[in-house]
């Protein structure tokens, strides 16, 4: 099933308590594509990069079934750059620098060949760009999922509210859900955000798992307790890619299937954090993914006798 992925493709520089990376490949759409391409093809990528973005990186994605017709290459400009530093808990981080570069003037273009796509995931990007992609699609995809972050709540809240009215599923982390809703309780936050447009809210809580809300239903997916967490960058996007990849593979947008999808997302995110950047996602095989899904099943499977 065809899936459109929209988002940043970037250079990142990351500092964690355990080490520091040089400028490495990152970006929300990069992580989503690496993750989702394990489950579904074609992936139709919409993004923008500068002339400094390595051609080999684009080639590897193409080999994985990612169609790059919607990726603009601005030869004389620089790619988006982000740098961040993680705190000792590895769950929270500070953005040290955001250089929008090509993203600052990005006008997305949906190629004709992308028009019949079944699913759409709008990864982290300016809400105006996310909205423009929705508006360019002649037919609404079966499911529209949106990821965003506090940065956009602070600089483009009105645009974000407009795009929220047009999406089915919102993915945010716990602090972003609180910021958007002005509610501390995540249950109240999800309920309030559901009045802003999306019918499903997924709240990611880093090493504490993820919650899925829909009407009065709630489901929880744990994160796998890992011995070593090296770099959480991109874990949210990798989660999103696993979630959307599973939905696209199964073509089932029911709440029941979304429960499985957030387990798949959590499993993919658990790989992402094991090495810097996209490194681990480049190594894993179908067998690794299956094995990890089994670990998740064991983690939450228990029997109980009612008293």
Please identify, using beta-carbon distances, which residue of 2 and 26 lies nearer to ligand AMP: 26
DSSP 223: P
The least CB distance from residue 79 to ligand AMP, in Å, is: 9
- Let me know how long the chain is: 307
The answer to whether 229 and 280 are in contact (CB under 8 A) is no
Please identify, using beta-carbon distances, which residue of 10 and 247 lies nearer to ligand AMP: 10
Dist. CA 189–CA 162, nearest whole Å: 18
CA triple 67-69-75, angle to 5 deg? 120
The least CB distance from residue 146 to ligand AMP, in Å, is: 13
Binding site for ligand AMP (CB under 6 A): 8, 10, 12, 26-28, 82, 98, 124-125, 151, 233-237
Please identify, using beta-carbon distances, which residue of 2 and 9 lies nearer to ligand AMP: 9
The answer to whether 26 and 234 are in contact (CB under 8 A) is yes
The least CB distance from residue 101 to ligand AMP, in Å, is: 11
The least CB distance from residue 174 to ligand AMP, in Å, is: 13
Q: Which helix (H) or strand (E) holds 70?
A: strand 66-74
The answer to whether 49 and 71 are in contact (CB under 8 A) is yes
Please identify, using beta-carbon distances, which residue of 109 and 151 lies nearer to ligand AMP: 151
Q: Which helix (H) or strand (E) holds 289?
A: helix 286-300
The least CB distance from residue 81 to ligand AMP, in Å, is: 8
Task: Determine the straight-line distance between the first and last CA of the chain, rounded to whole angstroms.
Answer: 46
Phi, psi of 59 (to 5 degrees): -60, -40
Dist. CA 65–CA 40, nearest whole Å: 9
Dist. CA 295–CA 227, nearest whole Å: 14
The least CB distance from residue 92 to ligand AMP, in Å, is: 12
Please identify, using beta-carbon distances, which residue of 2 and 134 lies nearer to ligand AMP: 134
Please identify, using beta-carbon distances, which residue of 207 and 237 lies nearer to ligand AMP: 237
């Amino acid at each position: 099933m065809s899936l459109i992925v929209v988002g940043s493709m970037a250079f990142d520089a990351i500092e964690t308590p355990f080490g520091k990376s040089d400028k490495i490949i990152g970006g929300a759409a990069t992580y989503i594509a690496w993750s989702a391409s394990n489950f579904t093809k074609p992936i139709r990528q919409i993004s923008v990069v500068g002339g400094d973005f390595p051609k080999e990186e684009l080639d590897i994605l193409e080999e994985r079934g990612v169609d790059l017709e919607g990726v603009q290459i601005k030869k004389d400009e620089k790619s988006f750059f982000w740098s961040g530093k993680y705190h000792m808990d590895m769950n929270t981080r500070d953005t040290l620098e955001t250089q929008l570069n090509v993203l600052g003037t990005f006008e997305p273009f949906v190629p004709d060949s992308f028009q019949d796509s079944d699913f759409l995931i709008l990864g982290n990007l300016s809400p105006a760009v996310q909205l423009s992609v929705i508006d360019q699609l002649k037919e609404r995809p079966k499911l529209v999922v949106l990821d965003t972050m506090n940065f956009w709540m602070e600089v483009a809240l009105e645009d974000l509210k407009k795009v929220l009215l047009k999406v089915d599923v919102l993915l945010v982390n716990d602090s972003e859900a609180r910021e958007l809703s002005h509610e501390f309780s995540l249950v109240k936050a999800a309920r309030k955000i559901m009045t802003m447009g999306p019918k499903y809210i997924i709240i990611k809580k880093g090493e504490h798992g993820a919650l899925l809300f829909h009407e009065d239903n709630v489901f929880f997916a744990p994160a796998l307790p890992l011995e070593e967490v090296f770099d959480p960058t991109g874990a949210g996007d990798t989660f999103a890619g696993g979630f959307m990849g599973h939905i696209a593979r199964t073509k089932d947008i029911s709440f029941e299937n979304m429960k499985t999808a957030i387990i798949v997302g959590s499993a993919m995110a658990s790989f992402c954090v094991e090495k810097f950047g996209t490194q681990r996602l480049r190594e894993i095989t179908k067998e690794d993914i299956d094995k990890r899904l089994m670990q998740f099943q064991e983690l939450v499977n228990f029997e109980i006798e009612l008293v």
